[in-house]
């Protein structure tokens, strides 16, 4: 259903305390106004209580984790605070006696006020990120600091973990889920229907809603080939499936839609989604992400590496690290991927050059230190933590990576400056602390640019392993299916992620009769609970499906 009047019409009889919880990025004043108007026109007497006015004076400070090292400008560890830390004392509204009265308690943390009815009003995270980046109030604020322009470091490492934990903790008792994307007529779904739908989705193939963000290196492939509207002139980073931020659309094709976080599937149905063993290892964190790096008509990514396992835990607070792989889906002639140290790379020289580039804009001779490889379509590049890398200009890379994605420890950004003359953050000290100086020269090609190995094959199909390393917890396979052929597969108790990397399309069919058409460049999650399924090629071309799965430790 859509609109406040419809949501209000579904309320039980009063008197009531109704809490509306949700992220700091919601426009809470507009929500209160719209909801109160609908309540009053439905004959309710509505009293409003904004919980943000009851936050402890030190709430904002309490929420954030201390940086390691102490004055780090770039990162803080993920906050371990709870929504309850926002308050010295949670407000406890007095329940009205008159049946026509509703007390509406709203704002982040409102669920803690022991309501009779609990609604969750959500705004997908991409809105908060864009609003904070552009200092757009009232949405672009941080948790515990209403009214003040927000800050992205705080949004990523403090607000999101605290808000996600809180949302996940109350998901089982939410009476209505509200999607605030259309602020005037928010779509909503009753809690029982939401949970029934999620239970169904967790046992069949599910696709998340894609979107693209712009960066200084972004290209235009997704704009020209898929028709996406570039946010700031380019379609650099395609969020296909980045679990903590991904949403699933629920609704009728032509009716109202509610976008709900993909993460709710993992929280409410961890064994169905992840499988018992993966759930045991990763909790409810969905550990693999698929995204696009579009540099077609754009520039080079920064030269960077990602944190080693232990550093990731101790400095950034993630239990597993940002291993990556790049699958080249398309590339302009002559395009490259930078990957791995050259045989004679000298890290002292490299550090001096990184510092000179920052201090006085001296260009760094990158290829003295890092190897450049031809970006052939269909090649997978393995990028375990600590490996210096960058996709070059002219590529469409499908990243098949571990879920954390905000830890690019940049060494060099090609002297790029924004409109205000500022460079992007270059946390190169973290970079050097994590750089793997041991894998270099020919070992890079041998270990990280692997040749496909056929795992199994039949008439018109084969499954290849295209990338696996002992230090990485997931492997990347490829299903190759001839026109008119099909391949049988089985999740065998752990989820698969599929992406159609070549060909016109494929149909995924599960044993319980669900079918899902996958078009070129689309990604699909096959939950662990699916078990046996088939992939049938569609069209006159051979189909290549990139598949990722968690492997045995
Ligand atoms: O620092 P840059 O150039 O924006 O590159 C960042 C991107 O690089 C990656 O780490 C891929 O290597 C992505 O996960 C990330 O979005």
Query: Per residue in 512-537, pLDDT tens?
Result: 999 999 999 999 999 999 999 999 99
Residues spanned by the domain of 236: 211-243+286-448
Q: Are residues 394 and 436 in the same domain?
A: yes
pLDDT greater than 90 at residue 224: yes
CB 235 within 8 A of CB 138: no
| 69 part of a folded domain | yes
Q: How confident is the model at residue 88 (pLDDT cuts 50, 70, 90)?
A: very high
CATH assignment at residue 179: 3.40.50
Which of the 8 DSSP states describes residue 10? T
CB 337 within 8 A of CB 381: yes
Question: What separation in Å is there between the alpha carbon of 287 and the centre of ligand 1?
Answer: 17
Query: Per residue in 41-50, pLDDT tens?
Result: 999 999 999 9
Question: What's the rounded Cα separation, in Å, for the pair 102 and 79?
Answer: 35
Average pLDDT over every residue of 77-102: 96
Q: Are residues 45 and 177 in the same domain?
A: yes
Least confident of 28-37, 66-75, 152-161, 441-450: 66-75
Q: Among the three residues 448, 476, 511, which one is the final residue of a domain in this structure? A: 448
Closest by alpha carbon to 20, among 112, 143, 101, 110?
110
Q: Are residues 351 and 317 in the same domain?
A: yes
pLDDT greater than 90 at residue 420: no
Give yes or no for residue 410 CB within 6 A of ligand 1.
yes
CA 98, 104, 105 angle in degrees (round to 5)? Answer: 130
CB 466 within 8 A of CB 493: no
| Phi, psi dihedrals of residue 29, rounded to the nearest 5° | -70, -40
Sheet holding 45-50, edge to edge: 45-50, 101-106, 16-21, 117-122, 176-179, 187-190
Average pLDDT over every residue of 240-265: 95
- Classified as helix, coil or strand, 352 is helix
Q: Are residues 150 and 295 in the same domain?
A: no
Q: Among the three residues 448, 478, 504, which one is the final residue of a domain in this structure? A: 448
Q: How confident is the model at residue 255 (pLDDT cuts 50, 70, 90)?
A: confident
Which residue is associated with the tokens 């109704």? 18
- Classified as helix, coil or strand, 108 is coil
| 256 part of a folded domain | no
| Phi, psi dihedrals of residue 118, rounded to the nearest 5° | -120, 125
328 CB-contact burial (10 Å; exposed 0-12 / middle 13-18 / buried 19+): buried
Give yes or no for residue 407 CB within 6 A of ligand 1.
no
pLDDT of residue 184: 87
Left (φ > 0), alpha (ψ -120 to 50) or beta: where does 548 sit?
A: beta
Rounded to 5, what percent of the chain is helix, strand, coil? 25, 30, 45
DSSP assignment string, 172-193: GG-SEEEETTSSSS-EEEEHHH
CATH assignment at residue 532: 2.60.120.10
pLDDT greater than 90 at residue 553: no
Give yes or no for residue 294 CB within 6 A of ligand 1.
no
Sheet holding 324-331, edge to edge: 211-213, 237-241, 288-294, 395-402, 324-331, 380-383
Query: Per residue in 487-508, pLDDT tens?
Result: 999 999 999 999 999 999 999 9
Question: What separation in Å is there between the alpha carbon of 57 and the centre of ligand 1?
Answer: 37
pLDDT greater than 90 at residue 16: yes
Residues 391-402: b if buried by 16+ CB within 10 A, e if exposed: bbbbbbbbbbbb
| 352 part of a folded domain | yes
Q: Give the residue ranges of DSSP H helices in 382-427.
A: none
The number of distinct structural domains making up the chain is 3
Tokens of 311: 């550093």
Q: Are residues 69 and 159 in the same domain?
A: yes
Which of the 8 DSSP states describes residue 103? E
Query: Per residue in 347-402, pLDDT tens?
Result: 999 999 999 999 999 999 999 999 999 999 999 999 999 999 999 999 999 999 99
Tokens of 149: 């322009």
Question: What's the rounded Cα separation, in Å, for the pair 31 and 37?
Answer: 10
Query: Per residue in 262-275, pLDDT tens?
Result: 999 999 999 999 99
| 296 part of a folded domain | yes
Q: Are residues 297 and 378 in the same domain?
A: yes
Q: Are residues 431 and 461 in the same domain?
A: no
Question: What's the rounded Cα separation, in Å, for the pair 131 and 125?
Answer: 10
Give yes or no for residue 295 CB within 6 A of ligand 1.
no
The neighbouring-strand residues paired with 294 are: 396
Question: What's the rounded Cα separation, in Å, for the pair 282 and 272?
Answer: 14
Give yes or no for residue 175 CB within 6 A of ligand 1.
no
CB 510 within 8 A of CB 205: yes
| For ligand 1, mutation pick of 217, 301, 312, 318 (most atoms within 8 Å of CB) | 301
Question: What's the rounded Cα separation, in Å, for the pair 52 and 179?
Answer: 20
% residues pLDDT > 90 (the chain): 96
Q: Are residues 196 and 234 in the same domain?
A: no
Q: Among the three residues 448, 466, 497, which one is the final residue of a domain in this structure? A: 448
Closest by alpha carbon to 500, among 549, 548, 544, 452?
544
Counts for the chain of helices (H) and strands (E), in that order? 15, 29
CB 140 within 8 A of CB 56: no
Give yes or no for residue 289 CB within 6 A of ligand 1.
no
pLDDT of residue 50: 98
pLDDT greater than 90 at residue 177: yes
Q: Are residues 144 and 33 in the same domain?
A: yes
| 458 part of a folded domain | yes
Question: What's the rounded Cα separation, in Å, for the pair 108 and 59?
Answer: 12
Question: What's the rounded Cα separation, in Å, for the pair 477 and 163?
Answer: 35
Question: What's the rounded Cα separation, in Å, for the pair 220 and 228?
Answer: 9
Average pLDDT over every residue of 270-285: 98
Q: Which protein residue has the closest C-alpha to ligand 1 atom 14? A: 405
Q: How confident is the model at residue 422 (pLDDT cuts 50, 70, 90)?
A: very high
pLDDT of residue 163: 98
| 279 part of a folded domain | no
pLDDT greater than 90 at residue 252: no
Q: Are residues 394 and 334 in the same domain?
A: yes
Task: Please tell me whether the interface predicted TM-score (ipTM) of this complex is above 0.90.
Answer: yes
Question: What separation in Å is there between the alpha carbon of 414 and the centre of ligand 1?
Answer: 14
Q: Are residues 331 and 392 in the same domain?
A: yes
Cα radius of gyration (the chain): 24
pLDDT of residue 6: 96
pLDDT of residue 354: 98
Q: Collect all residues with Cβ–Cβ distance below 8 Å to 71 and sequence separation of at least 6.
A: none
Q: Which protein residue has the closest C-alpha to ligand 1 atom 10? A: 408
Give yes or no for residue 489 CB within 6 A of ligand 1.
no
Which residue is associated with the tokens 């953050």? 425
Question: What's the rounded Cα separation, in Å, for the pair 91 and 51?
Answer: 7
| For ligand 1, mutation pick of 152, 237, 408, 448 (most atoms within 8 Å of CB) | 408
pTM of the model: 0.97
pLDDT of residue 463: 98
Average pLDDT over every residue of 112-130: 97
Question: What separation in Å is there between the alpha carbon of 94 and the centre of ligand 1?
Answer: 50
pLDDT greater than 90 at residue 229: no
Left (φ > 0), alpha (ψ -120 to 50) or beta: where does 28 sit?
A: alpha
Q: Are residues 185 and 230 in the same domain?
A: no
Assess whether the previous peptide bond of 365 is cis (omega < 30° from 0): no
| 255 part of a folded domain | no
Q: How confident is the model at residue 253 (pLDDT cuts 50, 70, 90)?
A: confident
pLDDT of residue 525: 98
Q: Which protein residue has the closest C-alpha to ligand 1 atom 6? A: 408
Least confident of 121-130, 227-236, 295-304, 445-454: 227-236
pLDDT of residue 412: 98
pLDDT of residue 538: 98
| 252 part of a folded domain | no
| Phi, psi dihedrals of residue 97, rounded to the nearest 5° | -100, -30
């Amino acid at each position: 259903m859509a609109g406040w009047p419809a949501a209000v019409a579904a309320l039980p009889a009063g008197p009531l305390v109704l809490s509306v919880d949700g992220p700091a990025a919601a426009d809470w004043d507009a929500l209160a106004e719209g909801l109160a108007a609908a309540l009053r026109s439905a004959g309710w007497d509505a009293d409003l209580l904004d919980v943000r006015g009851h936050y402890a004076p030190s709430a904002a400070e309490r929420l954030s984790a201390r940086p390691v090292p102490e004055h780090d400008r770039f990162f803080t560890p993920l906050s371990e605070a709870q929504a309850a830390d926002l308050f010295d004392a949670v407000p406890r509204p007095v329940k009205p006696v008159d049946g026509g009265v509703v007390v509406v308690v709203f704002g982040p943390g409102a669920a803690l006020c022991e309501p009779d009815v609990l609604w969750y009003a959500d705004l997908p995270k991409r809105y908060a990120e864009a609003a904070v980046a552009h200092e757009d109030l009232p949405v672009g604020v941080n948790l515990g600091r209403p009214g003040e322009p927000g800050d992205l470091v705080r949004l990523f490492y403090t607000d999101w973990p605290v808000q996600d934990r809180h949302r996940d903790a109350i998901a089982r008792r939410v009476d209505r889920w509200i999607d605030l994307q259309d602020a005037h007529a928010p779509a909503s779904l009753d809690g029982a229907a939401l949970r029934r739908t999620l239970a169904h989705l967790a046992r069949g193939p599910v696709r998340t809603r894609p979107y693209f963000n712009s960066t200084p290196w972004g290209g235009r492939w997704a704009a020209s080939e898929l028709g996406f509207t570039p946010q700031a002139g380019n379609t650099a980073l395609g969020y296909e499936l980045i679990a903590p931020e991904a949403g699933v659309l629920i609704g009728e094709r032509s009716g109202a839609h509610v976008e709900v976080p993909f993460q709710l599937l993992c929280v409410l149905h961890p064994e169905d989604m992840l499988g018992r063993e993966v759930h045991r290892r990763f909790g409810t964190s969905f550990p693999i992400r698929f995204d696009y790096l579009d540099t077609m008509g754009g520039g080079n990514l920064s030269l960077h590496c990602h944190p080693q396992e232990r550093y990731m835990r101790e400095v950034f607070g993630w239990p597993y690290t940002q291993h990556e792989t790049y699958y080249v889906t398309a590339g302009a002639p002559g395009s490259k991927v930078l990957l791995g140290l050259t045989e004679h790379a000298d890290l002292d020289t490299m550090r001096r050059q990184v510092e000179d580039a920052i201090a006085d804009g001296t260009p760094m001779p990158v290829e003295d230190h890092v190897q450049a490889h031809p970006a052939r379509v269909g090649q997978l590049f393995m990028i375990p933590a600590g490996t210096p890398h960058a996709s070059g200009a002219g590529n469409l890379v499908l990243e098949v990576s571990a879920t954390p994605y905000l830890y690019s420890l940049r060494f060099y950004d090609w002297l790029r400056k924004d409109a205000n003359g500022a460079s992007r953050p270059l946390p190169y000290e973290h970079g050097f602390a994590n750089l793997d100086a041991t894998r270099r020269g020919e070992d890079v090609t041998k270990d990280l640019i692997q040749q496909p190995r056929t795992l199994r094959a039949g008439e018109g199909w084969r499954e290849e392993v295209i990338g696996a390393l002992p230090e990485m917890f997931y492997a990347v396979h490829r299903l190759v299916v001839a026109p008119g052929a099909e391949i049988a597969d089985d999740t065998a108790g752990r989820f698969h992620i599929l992406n159609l990397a070549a060909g016109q399309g494929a149909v995924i069919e599960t044993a319980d009769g669900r079918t899902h058409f996958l078009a070129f460049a689309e990604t699909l999650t096959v939950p662990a609970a699916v078990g046996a399924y088939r992939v049938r090629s569609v069209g006159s071309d051979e189909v290549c499906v990139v598949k990722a799965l968690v492997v045995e430790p």
